[in-house]
């Protein structure tokens, strides 16, 4: 086995461990909405042809937060990049914003399951910080009218959260990994298409 195959195997294992996934359709939609490289801003027609004639396209699939640094394969962490920008990248030092995203992913998000919305976005149970006490925990509630208030919600650890949400039908505070989508969600409600077990 040559070193390229070994690297591919290691990367595949790391990607799986980090969690997240996206469909071919989601990538196609993202690409159709990306007329230029997300890194350098050049239009695809402005990027020189790839040296290897086997590859016809100048665009590639890139990760905003590298897989090496804990980035997931969710569509929210994917962007269209030209091959030159993508191939120049390495897993060197993270920017401050990237460090914050990775820390948030590792410390706050549950990797046990995610809700897949009708839009295809993946949202994960996320620990919330209570201002009054500073306590950080998963916040679950029965849902419904007034279900998002502190008064009716419970602050719980991950095993308890998993049981209440998946077995008892509770709602839980969730967020996409990029923070763009967040709110109180439960299985079968609020545009939730499916529950995807990850662990």
What pairs with residue 175 in β-bridges?
A: 124, 182
Q: Check if the beta carbon of residue 140 is closer than 8 Å to that of residue 127.
A: no
Q: How far is CA 125 from the centre of its chain?
A: 12
Sign of torsion over alpha carbons 81, 87, 91, 95: negative
Residue with tokens 């390229």: 4
Per-residue pLDDT reduced to its tens digit, 18-54:
778 889 999 999 999 999 999 899 999 999 998 888 8
pLDDT, mean over the chain: 81
Per-residue pLDDT reduced to its tens digit, 91-115:
555 555 655 555 555 567 888 898 9
Residue with tokens 């077995």: 167
Show me where the domains of the chain are located: 3-93, 109-197
Give CA–CA dist 23/30, Å, rounded: 11
What pairs with residue 185 in β-bridges?
A: 172
Q: What is the pLDDT of residue 1?
A: 44
Better-predicted residue by pLDDT, 92 or 169: 169
Strands 192-197 and 154-156: unpaired
Per-residue pLDDT reduced to its tens digit, 4-27:
566 677 677 777 777 788 899 999
Q: Is the pLDDT of residue 149 over 60?
A: no
Q: How confident is the model at residue 188 (pLDDT cuts 50, 70, 90)?
A: confident
Burial of 3 by CB count in 10 Å (0-12 exposed, 13-18 middle, 19+ buried)? exposed
Strands 113-117 and 154-156: unpaired
Give CA–CA dist 59/187, Å, rounded: 36
Give CA–CA dist 31/81, Å, rounded: 10
The CATH code belonging to domain 3-93 is 1.10.30
């Amino acid at each position: 086995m040559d070193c390229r195959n070994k690297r591919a195997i290691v990367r595949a294992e790391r990607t799986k461990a980090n969690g997240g996934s996206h469909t071919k359709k989601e990538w196609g939609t993202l690409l159709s909405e990306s007329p230029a490289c997300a890194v350098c801003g050049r239009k695809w027609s402005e990027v020189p042809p790839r040296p290897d004639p086997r590859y016809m396209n100048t665009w590639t699939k890139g990760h905003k937060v590298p897989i090496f640094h804990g980035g997931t394969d969710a569509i929210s962490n994917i962007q269209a990049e030209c091959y030159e920008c993508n191939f120049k990248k390495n897993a060197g030092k993270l920017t401050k914003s990237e460090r914050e995203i990775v820390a948030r992913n590792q410390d706050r998000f549950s990797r046990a399951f995610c809700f897949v919305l009708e839009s295809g976005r993946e949202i994960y149970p996320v620990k919330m910080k209570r201002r009054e006490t500073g306590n950080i925990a998963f916040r679950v509630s029965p849902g419904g009218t007034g279900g998002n208030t502190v008064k009716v919600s419970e602050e719980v650890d991950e095993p308890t959260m998993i049981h209440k949400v998946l077995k008892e039908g509770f709602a839980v505070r969730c967020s996409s990994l990029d923070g763009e989508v967040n709110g109180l969600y439960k299985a079968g409600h609020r545009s939730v298409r499916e529950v995807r077990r990850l662990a």
